[in-house]
Amino acid sequence: MKKIITSIITFILVISFVLPGASAKETQVFEDVPTTHPNFNDINYLVEHGVLEKGGKYRLTDMITREEAIVMIAKAVGLDGTPRETKFDDVPKSNINSGYIQSAVEAEIIYGSTPYDFMPKAPLTRMQMSVILVRAFQLPLDEVPIGTRLFKDVDYLIYGAPFIQSIVKLGITNGYPDGNFKPHNALTRAHMAAFLSRAMKYVEDNK
Residue 144 has pLDDT above 90, yes or no: yes
pLDDT of amino acid 2: 47
d(CA 162, CA 27): 38
Tens of pLDDT, residues 33-85: 999 999 999 999 999 999 999 889 999 999 999 999 999 999 999 999 999 99
Going by the DSSP 8-state scheme, the letter that residue 155 receives in this structure is E
Q: Evaluate the CA torsion angle 132, 135, 136, 140 in order and state its sign.
A: positive
d(CA 69, CA 16): 41
d(CA 157, CA 35): 41
Alpha helical stretches, state H, 92-188: 98-106, 126-137, 161-169
Which residue in 109, 87, 114 sits closest to 98, CA to CA?
87
Give the chain's mean pLDDT: 89
d(CA 154, CA 133): 18
Paired residues of 123 in beta bridges:
65
pLDDT of amino acid 12: 38
d(CA 196, CA 94): 27
d(CA 143, CA 156): 9
User: What 3-state class would DSSP assign to 8?
Assistant: helix
Which residue in 92, 47, 94, 90 sits closest to 72, CA to CA?
47
Tens of pLDDT, residues 9-39: 444 333 333 334 334 445 789 999 999 999 9
d(CA 43, CA 191): 10
* 191 C-beta neighbours (distance < 10 Å), count: 20
